[in-house]
Structure 1
Amino acid sequence: MERGLYVDGQWRAAAGGASADVVNPATEAVIGSAADGTAADATDAVAAAHRAFHDGRWSGLTPAERAAALRRLHRTLSDRVEDHVALSIAESGAPRGQSAAFVASGLAHLEYAIGAATADHDRMLPSPPRAAGAPPRVSASLVRRVPAGVVVAVTPFNAPLLLTLPKVAAALAMGNTVVVKPSPYTPLEILALAEAADEAGIPPGVLNVVTGGADVGAALVGDPRVGLVTFTGSDTVGAKVMAQAAGNITRVVLELGGKSALVVRADADLALASRIGAVNTTTLAGQGCALLTRHLVHRDVFADYVAALTDRLAAAVPGDPADARTTLGPLISAAHRDRVASLVRDARRRGAKAAVDGGPATVDGKGFFHEPVVLTGLGNDDPVARHEIFGPVAVVIPFGSDDEAVTLANDSPYGLAGAVVSADRVAAVAVAERLRAGRISVNDGAAADVRLPFGGFGRSGIGREFGPEGVLEYTEVQTLQW
C-alpha cells in the first residue's frame, strides 16, 4: 500500500516528496508506505480545516444532517471491518482477537457519537426573579454548547482505529473540523479511515490526515487557528504538547500514560486475580496505557499469586498476530524492544528477582518480540514501579493491610486505572473508592461501555474521552441573553 496525505478532500504527496516505509513488527517486512509530511503540509491541513469550519459546510449543517453523514461513514467502515482488522494486525502487531475487538469498539464509539450529535446539550433559563417595584421584563438566557473549531488529534500506534475514531467521531458530531496526525508506525489504518470518510461524502476539509514525524505534530499543535488539541500518548510527550499549545492558550485533552495498580486482597480468588494479571501483562504486549502493570498483593497470598501468574504467563503464545492462536504479539519496533529489555536488566541489577524471566525474542527468526517478565523484590519507589515500561512486564509488590494497599496504589505520579479483587465485594468497593484513578474495576467488573468516560488523574492526563463528558470536551460554552 502506498498512501499520500489527505488534505481538503484530496490525496496528495508530501511537500518534500518523501515517504516512509511501514513495517510489520512481527515479520519485519515492509507492508506499505505513507507520505512523510512536513510542517508546510500541516499548515495546509489546518488552513483547509479552518476554511471548512468557518464557511459552514459542516458546522452550518443541522445536527440531524451531521448525524446522517456520520451514519454513512459508519456503514462504509462496517463494510470494511476485515480490512481494518488486517491493517491493525499488520502495522501494530496486535493479535487477531484483540485487533477485531479494537475495531468493533471504535465503531461502537462512532455509533454513540451519532446519537450525541442530535442530543440536546443546551439549557434554557427563565427570567430571574423581578425585584419589588422593578418594571416587568420578558427575558431569558440560553446556555449553548458550540463547536471548539479546528481540532487537532495526535494519536498513537497501539490500537490505531480505537484511539482515533472516537476523537474524530465526537469532534465531528459536535460540528468541529479535524486534522489527524497518526503515529508514523501505524498510519495506514487512519489513512483508510480518511478514504472511508471521503467515500461517505464527508465534505472536503472537514477531516484531514497528515502523516509524518514530530515536526508535523509541533506545527499542528502550535498553529493559532486550532481551537482544541487532543493527544493520546506518553506523559513525556504530552507535557511537550501542552507546552506547544500553551503559546496560543489552546485547550488540550490529554490521555496519557499509567502505572495502574491491581490490588489483590487476602481473600481474593487467585484464579481470577492471576487471569486479570496475565491478561494485563500480555494484551498488546503490554503496550497499553490503562493496563494494570503494578500488582499489589497481600502478603498472605503473595507467593501463591506469583505462582499462579507464572503458570498463566507460561501459557502465553507468541507468534504471528494473524494466527488466531497467538496471544502475545510483538513490540512496535526494535528500538522499543531493546528499551524494554534494558529497563528489565537495570531492575535486575538493583536486586529485582524475576519470577518470570523473559527477554527479547523472535518467531521464526523475525519480529520485535519480548517474552513476559514478572519482577518481585522491589519497592514501590523503584523506577520500574513508578514509570511506564510499555512492555509485557509486571511488578508484584506485597502489602499487609487495605490502608497500605491504598497508600501504595496512590503513591504514583499516574492515576489512569485500577482494580481490586476480593471475595468481600463491600470491602473491595471500599478500597476502590479510595483509589485516585479515573477508572476502577472490582472483580473484573470492567466491561466495554461507550457511555463511560475515560481519563486519568495526575500525569495520566487532562480531560475525558468517551461518553457524554468526552463528547462535550469538543465544545465551548456560550451564553445568549435577551
Structure 2
Amino acid sequence: MTPQGVNIKYPEKLFIGGQWVAPMSGSSIEVVNPNTEEVIARVGEAGPDDMDRAVAAAREAFDNGPWPTTPPAERGALLMKMIDHLEARIPELSAAWTAQVGGLASFAPVMHGGGVAGLRGIAALGQTFKWVEQKKGMVVDTAILAREPVGVVVGIAPWNAPFGIMANKVFYSLIAGCTIVMKPSPETPLEAYIIAEAAEAAGLPPGTVNLVTGEREASDYLVHNVGVDKVSFTGSTGAGKRIAEVCGSRIARCSLELGGKSAAIVRDDFPIEAAAGILGNTITVMSGQVCAMLSRAIVSKHRHDELAEAIAGVMKGIKIGNSEDPETQLGPLAMKRQLERVEMYIEEGKKSGADLVTGGQRPAHMNKGYFMEPTLFANVDNTSRIAQEEIFGPVLCLIPAEDEEDAIRIANESNYGLNGSVFTTDVQAAYDVSRKVRTGVMGQNGMRMEFGMPFGGFKQSGIGREGGEEGLWPYVETKTILLDGAPARL
C-alpha cells in the first residue's frame, strides 16, 4: 500500500544483499497522512534479526565485494545512473513527501528537484577529489596519502526532509567506496525505497546498498552492531547523544547533524517591514520543522514592539490549509506527537511571562489534521525554555537586546550552534557579526542555504559536516604510506 502517485515495487519487503526479502518479524509499519489522519502506506518492519542480516550483507559487500576497490571515477559513473533514475521519479518523491509529512505540494518539486541535482556534485567527487596524493617527506623520500573508505555505514535520516538527507548519506558513502544500510524514519520510509530501487536499477553490487525500516528499538540494536564502522545520523540532539555514546563505546565513527535554535540578529539599519516579512514567512517553511530554522529573532529594545506588531500582521495573513492546495502557505505538522509537542511549548511560553502576540491555537476552520497557527511570542527571556529548546514548529521567539554586542551575546547564549542570520544592508557588518556568532552557518537577511557548501553545527548541533568536499571527509580514512622512492603508479 502506497500513496497515489508513488509506485514502489515491494513496499512490504526490505532490500538486503541485493534482494527484496520479507521481514523476519512479519510486522509492518503504518504511515499516516497528517492532513487527513488516515493511513496512506504500509511498509515492512525490520526487527533485530533483519538488522543483523543487513549489516552482514553490507559487511560482506565491503570486505569481499568489488565496490571498495572500484576506481572512484567508475563509482561516480554508476552513481550518475542512479541519479538519472531518481530524476525521472521526482514527481513520486514529491508526492511521497506531501503524503507522509504534509509538505506543501507547491514546494515539493522544487525541493526534490534541487535535491537530485545536488547529488551530481557528490558523484563528481569521484573525479575531482584527491584520493591519493604524493608528497616529499621530511625524513623519507616519498610520503603517499591515500583516502580509503571508512567501511560499513549506517545512515539514519529524520522525517522532515527524508529524501535529501538520506540521499546525501548514501551518495557520500558510495562515492567513498563504503557500503551502506539505510534506516529511514518510520514516519517517512518511502523515499528510501525509491533510493534502493535506483541502486538496483543502476546495477550496484549486491549488499552495497541495503534498506531496513524499523522503530526506535530496532534502530538502537542496529547502531550497536559491531559490524558497523560508522553511523551517519541526522535528527534530534537527544538521539544524537545516544548514538555518540554507543559509537564511543567501541570507537566507531559517527557524524551527527542535530538540532538548532538559530538566531536572526536584526540590526538597526534594517527596515522593520522587510524584517517582519522575512521572519513571519520563514517560520512557516515546512511548518517550522527545519533544524536550521530561524526560531529566535533578536532586535534592539527600542524597535522591539514595532517589529512584534509587524510580524504579527504577516502571520495573520498566512493561509493555513491542506498541503495539496496550491494556495496553502502553512500545512500541518508531520504527526500527532509533534502537534502535541508544539502545544506543550506554547503553554510553557505562556507560563514564562512572554507575551503571546498572535497564534497559539489550532485553526478554527480545520477540524481534522495536525494544524497549528503561526505563533509569535514577544518580550521573550532568552533563558526560558521556549528560547533555549528546539520546538520544531511554527513558533517564533522575539527577544529584545540592549545593543548589537548584547544581541551577539544572546545569540551565543545557547547550547546549539547550527544556523543564524544577520539582517542588515551593510555587507561588512554582516560579515563582522557572523564571525562573532558561534554557529556552523550564517547568512545575510534570511535563512540562507547553499547545499553545495558545508553544513553542520557547533556545540550540541552536531559533529562533522555535510555538503561540498567537506561532506566526504567523514566517510574516508587517511592512510599514510612512507616509501624510499616514488612508486611507478598510484
Q: Aligned pairs, how many?
A: 473
Q: Which residue of 1 aligns with 2:112?
A: 103
Alpha-carbon displacement from aligned partner over 1:330-386 (angstroms, at most 9, x marks no partner): 112112201211211122122221111232347653211111110113210000000
Q: Which amino acid aligns with 1:204?
A: P
Matched-pair contact (CA < 8 Å) for 1:361–1:368:
no
Q: Which residue of 2 aligns with 1:80?
A: 89
Q: Which residue of 1 aligns with 2:407?
A: 405
Aligned to 2:233, the other structure's residue is in SS state: strand
Q: Which residue of 1 aligns with 2:65?
A: 56
Give the distance between the partners of 1:428 and 1:69, measured in 2 at CA: 42
Alpha-carbon displacement from aligned partner over 1:115-136 (angstroms, at most 9, x marks no partner): 112224232112436xxxxxxx
Matched-pair contact (CA < 8 Å) for 1:222–1:247:
no
Alpha-carbon displacement from aligned partner over 1:226-268 (angstroms, at most 9, x marks no partner): 1111100010111011112122211110000000000001111
Q: Which runs of 5+ in 1 are unaligned?
A: 130-136
> Which segment is superposed worse, 223-232 or 408-417?
223-232
Give the distance between the partners of 1:279 and 1:39, measured in 2 at CA: 43
Alpha-carbon displacement from aligned partner over 1:310-347 (angstroms, at most 9, x marks no partner): 12112222222122211111112112201211211122
Give the distance between the partners of 1:362 and 1:286, measured in 2 at CA: 20
Give the distance between the partners of 2:366 and 2:383, measured in 1 at CA: 38
Q: Which runs of 5+ in 2 are unaligned?
A: 3-10, 484-490
Q: Which residue of 1 aligns with 2:472?
A: 471
Q: CA deviation at 1:44?
A: 0.6
Q: CA deviation at 1:88?
A: 0.8
Residues 459 and 144 (structure 1 numbering): CA distance in 2 closer, same or farther, change over 3 Å?
A: same
Q: CA deviation at 1:389?
A: 0.4
Q: How does 1:372-451 map to 2 (within 5 A)?
A: 372-444=374-446, 446-450=448-452
Q: Are 1:123 and 2:133 an aligned pair? A: yes
Give the distance between the partners of 1:113 and 1:424, measured in 2 at CA: 34
Give the distance between the partners of 1:275 and 1:145, measured in 2 at CA: 47
Alpha-carbon displacement from aligned partner over 1:147-181 (angstroms, at most 9, x marks no partner): 00001011100011011111111110110000011
Matched-pair contact (CA < 8 Å) for 2:25–2:46:
yes
Q: Which amino acid aligns with 1:51?
A: E
Q: Which amino acid aligns with 1:467?
A: G
Q: Which amino acid aligns with 1:478?
A: K
Give the distance between the partners of 2:172 and 2:68, measured in 1 at CA: 13
Give the distance between the partners of 2:134 and 2:211, measured in 1 at CA: 38
Give the distance between the partners of 1:127 and 1:88, measured in 2 at CA: 52
Alpha-carbon displacement from aligned partner over 1:198-235 (angstroms, at most 9, x marks no partner): 11212211111100111221122111111111100010
Give the distance between the partners of 1:40 and 1:238, measured in 2 at CA: 24
Aligned to 2:229, the other structure's residue is in SS state: strand
Q: Which amino acid aligns with 2:94?
A: V
Matched-pair contact (CA < 8 Å) for 1:282–1:372:
yes
Pick the aligned partner of 2:356 from 331, 354, 357: 354
Give the distance between the partners of 1:405 and 1:61, measured in 2 at CA: 52
Give the distance between the partners of 1:227 and 1:312, measured in 2 at CA: 48
Aligned to 1:466, the other structure's residue is in SS state: coil
Q: Are 1:27 and 2:27 an aligned pair? A: no
Matched-pair contact (CA < 8 Å) for 2:294–2:447:
no
Q: Which residue of 1 aligns with 2:264?
A: 262
Quote the sequence identity (%).
36
Aligned to 2:25, the other structure's residue is in SS state: coil
Q: Which residue of 1 aligns with 2:231?
A: 229
Q: How does 1:316-327 map to 2 (within 5 A)?
A: 316-327=318-329
Q: How does 1:40-439 map to 2 (within 5 A)?
A: 40-121=49-130, 122-128=132-138, 139-361=141-363, 364-439=366-441
Q: CA deviation at 1:425?
A: 2.7
What TM-score do the two structures reach when normalised by structure 1?
0.95
Alpha-carbon displacement from aligned partner over 1:63-113 (angstroms, at most 9, x marks no partner): 122111101101001111111111111112111233223212321231011
Pick the aligned partner of 2:14 from 5, 17, 20: 5
Over the aligned positions, Cα root-mean-square deviation in angstroms equals 1.6
Matched-pair contact (CA < 8 Å) for 1:330–1:367:
yes
Aligned to 2:128, the other structure's residue is in SS state: coil
Q: Which residue of 2 aligns with 1:16?
A: 25
Q: Which residue of 2 aligns with 1:133?
A: none
